[in-house]
Amino acid sequence: MFKENIGIEAYIMGKSTIFRKMLLEEPGMIVRPCAYDALSAILIEKAGFKVVGTSGYGIAATLIGQPDIGLVSFGEMLERVRTIINAVSIPVDVDIDTGYGNPLNVYWTVFNFAKIGAAGVRIEDQVWPKKCGHMAGKQLVSIEEMIKKIKAAIRAKNEVDPDIVIGARTDALSVAGLEETIKRGIAYAKAGADYVWVETPTSLEIVETLVKKIPVPIAFNIIPGGRTTPFKIEDLERVGVKYLSIPMVCLYAATKAMIEALKILKETRDLDKIVDMGVTWSEFNEIVGLSKWRRLELEFLTRDELLTRYGTTDLEEIISKEIKETASKWKKSDS
């Protein structure tokens, strides 16, 4: 894999091992934003987060322009997640919905996500086609079927990378209540899940009960406008929540920014206002690693090729000249 900033720890331990250690051995809560494509994953890593999740909800929206109701196929999800994993050096924990079928499908799904380098996968106990956990109309599979899916996931990951983290999500809280949720959480933990994800808790008392009753780390997400109560992160950490996902921090912010930029362009045709709303051309090039490719050009192209392309073989001169030529055209006058 082609990565510039991957740490020595990832080479020595492997990303799944790092993620497993973060979840099961290291103190404190893991706060995890979610990516929906390679660019959002890059930005999450650049912001300093140590793990990135994938959002099935976000991938459904950005890949096919549809809601999270089970319309994205296994193959489509695998390819999108592959691009996310390839874009970053930190562990990627993957949302694999229900595993796309029965326990055999789960086995094949986990096997393939393990092959592309997933550090963790999470399966859920909804009936397929599933829905976003914050939507109405969800149905649950039996506890027995979900246990088989967890065991199938474990079998598959052990054949590729035994340290891959297996998360088990239950949507029982909004469908069947707290007692059933606890029952399922305990059963999923006994089946071998490394953590239990409980969808949409609505009070700190419920969260505390889940932490006390379920014998593995507890995880869930908070979505702006969704069913989960907007808890304070420090309160969740205080009561023992180990793993908190903030899945829409990139998608919703990007969506609002695009709406506002397009509105200004349509209404004003003022490009200066558009420029002020985003990064510059050269800034974006650095985000996606253009200078790294320039260095590869210097290494692998001949001197004559470089002189023909750039008139120099000096990397700093190439970059500074290009920035100067473009930035000068967009520099605002002081008047």
pLDDT: which is higher, 1 or 59: 59
Query: Considering the chain, what is the average pLDDT of its residues?
Result: 93
DSSP, residue by residue, 61-104: IIIIS--SSS-S-HHHHHHHHHHHHHH-SS-EEEE-TT-SSSHH
User: What would the two tokens of residue 71 be?
Assistant: 């319309």
Q: Which two tokens stand for residue 66?
A: 């549809």
Assign 10 a pLDDT band (cuts: 50, 70, 90): low
d(CA 10, CA 75): 27
What fold is seen in the domain 8-247? TIM Barrel (3.20.20)
CA quadruple 230, 121, 172, 64: dihedral sign: positive
Express each pLDDT in 75-124 by its tens digit: 999 999 999 999 999 999 999 999 999 999 999 999 999 999 999 999 99
Output the pTM of the full model.
0.93
pLDDT at residue 252 in the model: 97
Rounded average pLDDT over 313-327: 86
Work out the percent of the chain whose per-residue pLDDT is above 70: 95
What distance in Å separates the CA atoms of residue 90 and residue 196, rounded to the nearest whole number? 22
Q: Are strands 165-170 and 218-221 parallel, antiparallel or unpaired?
A: unpaired
Most distant pair of Cα atoms in the chain: their distance? 73
What is the torsional sign of CA 283, 286, 288, 291? positive
What residue segments make up the domains of the chain, in order of their start? 8-247, 279-327
pLDDT tens digits, one per residue of 280-312: 998 999 999 999 999 999 999 999 999 999 999
> Is the pLDDT score of 41 beyond 50?
yes
β-pairing verdict for 52-54 and 92-95 = parallel
- As a whole number of angstroms, the distance between CA 201 and CA 33 comes to 19
* Confidence label for 199 from pLDDT (cuts 50, 70 and 90): very high
What is the phi/psi pair of residue 322, to 5°? Answer: -65, -45
Q: What is the pLDDT of residue 266?
A: 96
Count of other CB atoms within 10 angstroms of residue 213:
15
